[in-house]
Structure 1
Amino acid sequence: MDRAFQVDLRGMVDLLSHHLYGSPRVYLRELLQNAADAITARRAADPAAPALIRIEPPELTGDGTLRVHDTGIGLTEEQVHELLATIGRSSKRDVLGFGRHEFLGQFGIGLLSGFLVADEIRVLTRHGDGPTVRWTGHSDGRYSVEPAAGPEQRAEPGTTFILVPRRGAEQWVTTSTVTQLARHYGSLLPVTVRVGGEQTTVGAPPWQRRAGTAAERREELIRYAREQLGFTPFDVIDLAVPEAGLTGVAFVAPNPVNPAVRAGHRVYLKRMLLADNIDDLLPEWAFFAHCVVDATELRPTASREALYADSLLAATRDALGEQLRDWLVRLADEQPQRLYEFLQVHHLGVKALALHDDEMLRLVERWWPMETNTGPATLAEFRRRHGLIRYAATLDEYRQLAAVAAAQDLAVVNAGYTYDRELIERLPAVDRQILVERLEPTDLTTRFDAVDPATELALRPFVSAAQAALDRLGCEVVVRAYDPVSLPALYLVSRAALFADQLEAARERADELWGGVLDALAASGPPDRPQLVLNHRNPLVRRVTTLGDPELVRLAVEALYGQALLLGYHPIRPADAALLNNSFLGLLGRAVPDQENE
C-alpha cells in the first residue's frame, strides 16, 4: 500500500541540494555514515558481528543502480515506518536503544541525501532473525513498505541501499567516482569498506599507529603530509584534547603563509571525514599550522560540513593553541637553532601570540632579531648593550633618524614592522626592570652642538633670510653642528607638529559642524613647528651661509629643504613639490648662463 511522507519531499530535496549540502557528492558520505552507525549498533550487542560495508557501482550491478550493503543491525518493519517516513527525526536512541553519542549521523536525513542523485531509493533491511523488509521511496513524496521478494531476501542481518540514478546524475555513481568518494570520506572508518573488489579503508589514523620507533613514526607522518596535504612540514606536533575526544597532529608549514588567510584543517568525527577546510579549529595567531584531527565529542552542523560553534569547540581551540605554544617553548629550551629557523619563516604568528602571552613575549625578546641602527640584535641583546630600548615607532621615523642617531651615539630599534612597537611597549609589564623609550624626532636636537656665540651672531642675517623663505611652509630654520658631516640638513617633525598638520588637513575637508569640533581640538595653543636643522659642519652649508645674494640664499635654502624631505622619507605636499621644482629650476637658471642676452 502506498503511503505519503510526512514532509514535502520535493522541497526537502531542494533544500538539501541548494542550501544544506555544498555538493551532491556528500550523498555517499551520508550512506557510509548510516551503514557505519548500523554496524556500531549491532556490534554493541554482538562484538563478534562482522563490520563490512560493500559498495557495488552500476558497472557491477548491471542494472544501472548503485548498491551499498552493510552488516549492521538492520530494521524491523515498524522501525522502517518510523525511521524512513519521519525524515530527520532523532530516533536512534528511541528505536535502536543507543544514545546518539554512539552514532555519526541521523538516519532519516542520511537516507534523504540519496535523492540528491536519485529519483528512486530502495532499501532492503533485515533485523535479527526477522524477515527482510523492502522500502521503496520516490522523490515525488511516495513510499511503500512490503515484504521482500525471494531474490531480495538477505541471508544475514543488515541493510542494502539501492539508488536508481536520475538522468544527468549518472557521473556521481560511476566506479571511479564512488571509489574516490569512499576513500576521501571513509578511509579511516573502523570498519572495512570495499568498492567492488577494492578496499578503500586503511585502518587507524596515521598518528595512532604506534609501530616502529619514534623516528619511524615521524617519518610516516611527514610522508602522510607530503602525500595528502602537498607539502613537507617543518615539524610535526602531536595534539590531544581528552574532553573533546580529540587526537591528531599539527603540521607546521615550511614556508611563509598569509596571516590574514586562516588555514583549513582536516577534521574527522568518529573517523568519518567532516571537511578538509575547517577554519576555526585553532586560534587566529596559529596560522602557520595545518591540523589533521579526529574527535568524538565535537558537534557537526546540520550539513556535517563544519563544526558547531559551542563552548566545547572554544575550549578545544584554546587547548590546541596552548599545545602549539608549549611546542615553541620546548624549541627555545631544547633546539634554539630550530626555533631561529622557525622564526625566520613564521615570526608573525609568534609575535601575534606574544601580544597577550608573557612566555611568548620573553621568547620573542630573547630570540627574534630586530633591525637596529647598530646592526641586527634581539631585544635582550640590545638591552644588555645599551641599558634601555629606545625605538622609532614607525618605519618612516626610523629611516629619517637611524643614521643621524647613530652618529650621535644613540642606538635605536626599528619598531615599524608588524607588532614590534606593541611588543616593545609591553615589555615593562612583564619585567619592571626593562626600560623603553620612544625616540622623539626633536630629541635629536638636544644631542646636536650649538655653534659658538660669535658664529651664531654672524649667521643671524642668513637665518632671517632662510626663515623668510620657509615661513609660508610653516617650518622653523635652526643651525646646529652634528654628525655625519656629509648630511647638510635634517627635517625634524615632533609628534605634536605632525598631529597639528593632520588636524589642519582634516579641518580643510570637514563640514561646518566637524570643523568646529576640530577647531576646539586645535585651540590649546600654537603647535610646535617642524624644524629644518642645517648642519654647520657641512662645507656646502657653510658656503651657503656666506652668500650675499638674497635670491640665491632663498633658492639654496629651498633646495636644502627639499633634499631633507626626500632623504628623510617625508611625505611631499603639493606646496613642497612646487618649491622643489622652483628651487631646482632657479638654481639651474643661475648655473647656466643666458648666452642669447650676452
Structure 2
Amino acid sequence: MSEPDPTTSAHTFQVDLRGLVDLLSHHLYSSPRVYLRELLQNSVDAISARRALDPTAPAAITVHADDELTVTDTGVGLTEADVHTFLATIGRSSKRDADGRLDGTGLAAARGDFIGQFGIGLLACFVVADEITVVTRSAATPGAPVIEWRGGSDGRYTIRTLPAAAKPEPGTTVTLTPRADAAEWTRAGQVLELARNYGSLLRHEVTVVDAAGNRTRVNATPPWEQRHASPQARREALADHCRSTFDFTPLDSIELDLPLVGLRGVAYVLPDAAPTSRRAGHRVHLKGMLLSEQADELLPEWAFFVRCVVDTDGLRPTASREALYADETLAAVRDALGVRIRDWLTGLSASDPALLHRFLGVHHLAVKALARYDDELLRMLLPWLPFETTDGNVTLDEFARSHPVILVARTVEEFRQVAPIAGAAGLGVVNGGYTYDRDLVHRLPEIRPGSSVADLDPGTVTAHLDTVDPAAELAAAAFLTVAREVVGRFDCDVALRSFHPTSAPALLLDNREARHERTRARLADEADGLWADILGSLRAEAPRAQLVLNHLNPLVRRASSITHRDLVVTAVEALYGQAVLLTRRPLLASESALINRSFISLLDHAMLGHETAAPGKDA
C-alpha cells in the first residue's frame, strides 16, 4: 500500500445553500407549489416508519394555514442525533437502507414503504421561506426529549431542547415563515387546493385547518378501493370521481389493476373526440401522493381517448418526483394497460353494442389507429367502423353488402371529384384520404372473404359514363375543338359524355400523381442548368386531367351549339372553373384568373345581349 503524499491535504466541499435552493426552484422543481408536497411526503414517510415499529400507532397529518404554515404529523419523530444527521446534512436521507431493517433511530424502515427516495425534500421549503422550524419528539427512543431545529436559507441552524410540554406526544411539527414574495403559496385557500391536489389519495388522514379553525379533510378512499352495493352503484361512484377530478362525465370507466407493480386505478373514456396530438393528462400517484398530472407516457399513444387516475407502488419517480422514470418497468406497464384498454374495446361488441356505437361515433379515429397494428381488434371492429362513402357515412360492413367491388379514393379531393357521379352510376367509392382509412379498407378482404378492394382510377369513372350518340358528338365537334384548346393550357383534355345527375354540367377527373408530374414538368421548363437536368431525369408519363362535359345537362347542350368563338371560350372557361371549384383543391394562380375572367366575360355578354334585344329603349 503506497504512502500518502505529504504535500496533499484533504478538504470537504463547501455548499452554498442559497445557490442550491435557487437550483432547485429553477431547474429541479416546476413550481414553488411543490413545497407542500415535500412536507406531506415527509410526514407520510415518518408515519410509515412509526407504523413499522408499532402498527397501532396513530396516523394523522394536520396542516394549519395562517400567518405561518405548520404541518404536524404523528410519525416516528427525531432524536437530537437524527436532527444533526438528517436535517443538517444536505442530501442525507433517512430512507436509504435497502435491506428493509430498522436502524437505531427507527427511521430506516423498508424503503419500499416510503414515498421519498432522494433526501432533499426539506430544502424545497426554502423556495417559499427563509426560515424553517422543526419541533420533534422521537417515538423510537423512550423518554426522548423534545428537540427544536431552526434553520435558515443562509445555511446556519440552531438546535435546542424544549420542555416535554412543548410536544407531549411523539411526532414532528414543521413551521414555515413565508417570504413576502411567496406569501401567495401559503394562504389558506391555496394551501387547501394544494393539499387536495397532492394528497387526495394519501392513505393517512390529512386535514387542513384555516385561521378561523375550520377543518377540511382533503383525502378519502378512492372509489375503486371501496365496496359498493351494486355494479351500477360502482359505475356511478366512478363517474362522480371523474367529474370531480377531470370535470367531465365519462362515456365509460375502465378499471385498471396490475398487482405486480401495485397499480390500481381507472381509465375514463372521454365523451368527446380528442385530437391525437393533445396531451393525455393522466394523473399518477405514488403510494397515494400525486406524482404527475401530465403522465402521457403511462399509456400507448393510440389510447388518447381516455384519461387515467392510478395509484402505484412499483413505478420509479424522477429526482424532482414530478414525472415517471422511463425504464423497462414503465414500458411493461404501458403495454399491459394498453392490453386492458384493448380488451375493453373488443368486449364491447358482445357485451354492449349500443355503447360500442356511441364510442365509435366519437372515437373512431383512435380505433382506426389501433386496428392498423392489432389484427384481433381489426377483425372484431373493422366492420363496425364508419367511413365516408358514396352512400354516405356508413359502416364498412353495410357498404360491402351493397358493393362487392369497393373503390378507394386516395385523397379527399379525388373523392369529392367523383362522389356525385360515381354514386349516380352505382359505383361504391370510399374516401381514403383521411388518416388510416385507405390502409384499413384495403384489409377488408382479410376479414370478409369475397370482398374486392381497389384504388380508384379516374379512368374507371369515365368508363362507367354513357357515351354520346355519334351524331350529337359530331354536331358539337367545333365546340369541343375550341374547348380542348382552352383547357389544354392546364394540361387537361375534354370528353363529352352522358351521366347523372343531369344538374352537373361538368366533371373534372384528375389525380395527385398527374398533378405532381405536371408541376415537375413546369418547373423543369422554368429551371436552368443542373436543376433542369435533374427535374428532366424524373420525367414520367402521367395521364392528363380530363374535363368531362355532361351532354344531358341543358346548359352544356346550349353551349355546344354556340358559333361565336369568343363566347365559346368564355363558356368553356366558366365550365372548367366551376369543375375545379367542385374539387375543393387549392387553386393555381392561373385558375383563379380564369374564373374571374370568365365571370366578367359572361356578365359582359349578358349585358350586351340585353342591350341588343332592346335597341330603342331609353337608358
Select which of 112, 129, 132 maps to 1:101.
112
Work out whether 1:535 is the aligned partner of 2:577: no
Q: Distance in 2 between matches of 1:474 and 1:171?
A: 69
The equivalent residue for 1:61 is: none
Whether 1:122 and 2:133 are equivalent positions in the alignment is yes
Match of 2:59 in 1: 51
Preserved contact between residue 245 and residue 295 of structure 1 (Cα < 8 Å): yes
CA–CA distance in structure 1, aligned partners of residues 455 and 156 of structure 2:
76
Q: CA deviation at 1:30?
A: 0.8
Partners of 1:209 and 1:75 lie apart in 2 by 35
**Structure 2 spans left out of the alignment, 5+ residues:** 1-11, 98-102
Superposition deviation, residue 509 in structure 1: 7.9
- Secondary structure of the structure 2 residue equivalent to 1:389: strand
Residues 449-494 of structure 1: CA distance to partner in whole angstroms, max 9, x if unpaired?
Answer: 3345555555544433332333333222223333333433322224
1:182 maps to: 195
**Aligned residue for 2:238?**
221
Aligned to 2:23: 15
Quick one: distance in 2 between partners of 1:299 and 1:120?
31
Sort the Cα spacing of 1:414 and 1:177 in 2 relative to 1 into closer, same or farther, 3 A. closer
**Residue of structure 2 equivalent to 1:555:** 570
Would you say the 8 A contact 1:373–1:403 is kept in 2? yes
Note the C-alpha offset of 1:506.
Answer: 5.1
Structure 1 residues 315 and 508: CA distance shift in structure 2, 3 A: farther
Equivalent-residue separation in structure 2 for 1:203 and 1:156 (angstroms): 25
- Over residues 172-222 of structure 1, what are the superposed CA-to-partner deviations in whole Å (9 max), with x where a residue is unaligned? 334444344333322322222333462525442221011422221221222
Partner residue in 1 for 2:206: 193
Q: Assess if the C-alpha contact under 8 Å between 2:50 and 2:76 holds in 1.
A: yes
CA contact (8 A) 1:53 1:69 kept: yes
Shift of 1:338: 1.3
**1:557 match: secondary structure:** helix
Distance 1:465 1:54, change over 3 A: closer
1:77 to 77, 80, 84: 80
How far residue 557 of structure 1 moved from its aligned partner, in angstroms, is: 2.9
How does 1:185-264 map onto structure 2 within 5 Å? 185-196=198-209, 198=215, 200-264=217-281
The verdict on how the C-alpha distance between 1:303 and 1:559 changes in structure 2, with shifts beyond 3 A counting, is same
CA shift digits 1:506-550 (9 cap, x unpaired): 54787754443222111x45x322222233344443444444444
- The correspondence of residues 393-542 of structure 1 with structure 2, limited to 5 A, is 393-428=410-445, 433-453=450-470, 456=473, 459-504=476-521, 507=524, 513-522=530-539, 524-525=540-541, 527-542=542-557
Residue 336 of structure 1, CA deviation: 0.9
Q: Deviations over 1:259-293 (max 9, x none)?
A: 32122122211011223333322222222212111
Q: How does 1:261-300 map to 2 (within 5 A)?
A: 261-300=278-317
What corresponds to 1:373 in structure 2?
A: 390
Q: Which amino acid aligns with 1:80?
A: V
User: CA offset at residue 76 of structure 1?
Assistant: 3.1
CA distance, structure 1, for counterparts of residue 522 and residue 351 of structure 2: 54
Q: Secondary structure at the match of 1:349?
A: helix
Structure 1 counterpart of 2:89: 86
Kindly indicate whether residue 339 of structure 2 is the aligned counterpart of residue 331 of structure 1.
Answer: no
Partner of 2:124: 113
The one-letter amino acid paired with 1:23 is: S
1:136 paired to 2:150 = yes
Name which of structure 1's ranges 168-177 and 108-117 shifts more when overlaid on structure 2: 168-177
| Whole-angstrom distance in 2 between the partners of 1:244 and 1:509 | 65
Match for 2:49 among 17, 41, 48? 41
Alignment identity in percent?
Answer: 52
Question: Is the 1:53–1:70 contact (alpha carbons within 8 Å) kept by the matching residues of 2?
Answer: yes
The structural deviation recorded for 1:396 is 1.8
User: What's the offset of the Cα at 1:379?
Assistant: 0.8
Contact 1:488 1:538 in 2 (8 A): yes
Q: Offset of 1:237 from its aligned partner?
A: 1.4
Provide the rounded CA distance (Å) in 2 between the counterparts of 1:145 and 1:223.
Answer: 49
Deviation of the 1:10 alpha carbon: 0.7
AA aligned to 2:39 is L
- Number of residue pairs matched? 587
Distance (Å, rounded) in 1 between the aligned partners of 2:602 and 2:131: 90
Change (3 A) 1:462 1:215: closer
Distance 1:496 1:29 in 2: 58
Instruction: Summarize deviations over 1:539-594 as a string: whole Å, max 9, x none.
Output: 44344444444444333333332333233435432333333344444444444246
Partner in structure 2 of residue 567 of structure 1: 582
Paired residue secondary structure (1:285): coil
Q: Tell me the SS of whatever aligns to 2:123.
A: helix
Residues of 1 paired with 2:598 and 2:126: CA distance?
79
88-97 vs 129-138, which moves further: 88-97
Amino acid across the alignment from 2:122: L
State the distance in 2 between where 1:405 and 1:102 align. 67
C-alpha distance in structure 1 between counterparts of 2:560 and 2:178, whole Å:
93
Look up the equivalent residue of 1:87 and give its one-letter code.
I
Q: 1:275 to 1:508 in 2, by over 3 A?
A: farther
Matched, 1:578 2:593: yes
Contact 2:265–2:308 at 8 Å: present in 1 too?
A: yes
Is this contact kept in 2: 1:83–1:107, CA < 8 A? no
Which deviates more, 394-403 or 291-300? 394-403
Q: CA deviation at 1:249?
A: 1.0
TM-score by length of 2: 0.86
Give the secondary-structure state (helix, strand or coil) at the position aligned to 1:280. helix
Q: Secondary structure at the residue paired with 2:55?
A: coil
Cα distance change, pair 103–212 in 1 and its aligned pair in 2 (3 A): same
Ranges in structure 1 where 5+ consecutive residues have no aligned partner: 59-63
1:350 deviates by 1.7
- Name the SS for the 2:248 alignment partner: coil
- Evaluate the alpha carbon distance shift between residue 499 and residue 184 of structure 1 in structure 2; reply closer, same or farther with a 3 A threshold: closer
2:280–2:294: 8 Å Cα contact kept in structure 1? yes
Structure 1 equivalent of residue 39 of structure 2? 31
Q: Which amino acid aligns with 1:142?
A: R
Pairwise mapping of residues 60-71 of structure 1 onto structure 2 (< 5 A)? 65-71=68-74
State the SS of the aligned residue for 1:351.
Answer: helix
- Secondary structure of the 1:277 match is coil
Change in Cα spacing, 1:426 to 1:162, as seen in structure 2 (3 Å) is: same
Q: Which amino acid is the alignment partner of residue 571 of structure 2?
A: A
In structure 1, the partner of 2:177 is: 164
CA–CA separation in structure 2 for the residues paired with 1:219 and 1:431? 39
Match for 1:561: what amino acid? Y
Letter in 1 for 2:582: L
Q: Report if the CA contact (8 A) 1:442-1:494 is conserved.
A: no
Please identify, of 564-573 and 114-123, the stretch whose mean Cα deviation from structure 2 is larger. 564-573
**In the TM superposition, what is the alpha-carbon distance from 1:247 to its structure 2 partner?**
0.4
Q: Deviations over 1:102-139 (max 9, x none)?
A: 21114741111221222222223324213333322211
Whole-angstrom distance in 1 between the partners of 2:168 and 2:13: 29
| In structure 1, distance between residues paired with 2:271 and 2:109 | 45
Relative distance call for 1:510 and 1:15 in structure 2 (3 A) is farther
